[in-house]
Amino acid sequence: MCKTRHLPILSLTNINKLACVSCLFFATFVNIRLTIMVKKDINPSYLACPIRQVISRFGDKWSMLVLYTLHASEAGVLRFSELHHNMADCSQKMLSATLKNLEQTNLIHREVYPVVPPRVEYSLTDTGKSLMPAIISLIDWAKLHFDDVVTKQII
């Protein structure tokens, strides 16, 4: 509560009466959050949709590229430096975080060899390999429709 004691006024109709900017921001935030929390018409099946779960786990900018890079390698096994060389536009920090996430979701396997200097290799798990047909289909779709998508985006 600020010195002007505005915080108890949290109804949307009274927000315009707040004199303090910080109270206005807080009241707006609380009302938006409460509105979202009490909204009853959100479909539970939408929240439980498998595609939402999949995208939240590895739908970021780099995960599918890492998976495909591992798949496309000759041996199916790459070291961190080899992955980073193939994905030069991905920072080491981001690549490391992506690999950790993919390992936690059981899509890649991380093998650490007890040698000096340390050697770590990454490969697809069976679950990761089973995902490859879907990723390859997505790549094929992108090749087929890339021009349409890019020209519509520019206009």
pLDDT for the residue 52: 83
- CB-neighbour burial class of residue 111 (10 A; exposed 0-12, middle 13-18, buried 19+): exposed
Tell me the C-alpha distance between 146 and 29, whole Å. Answer: 39
- Residue identified by tokens 């697809």 is 124
- CATH 1.10.10.10 in the chain is located at 54-154
Q: Supply the pTM of this predicted model.
A: 0.68
| Residues 148, 154, 155: CA angle, nearest 5 degrees | 90
Q: By C-alpha distance, which of 46, 53, 50, 5 is closest to 26? A: 5
Which CATH fold would you assign to the domain 54-154? Arc Repressor Mutant, subunit A (1.10.10)
Sort 80 into a burial class: Cβ within 10 Å, 0-12 / 13-18 / 19+.
middle
Are 118 and 81 a contacting pair, CB within 8 Å? no
pLDDT tens-place values along the chain, 155 residues long: 444 444 444 444 444 444 454 544 444 544 444 454 555 567 777 777 888 888 888 889 999 999 999 999 999 999 999 999 999 999 999 999 999 999 999 999 999 999 999 899 999 999 999 999 999 999 999 899 888 887 776 65
On whether the CB atoms of residues 149 and 107 are closer than 8 A, the answer is no
Q: How many other CB atoms are found less than 10 A from the CB of residue 69? A: 17
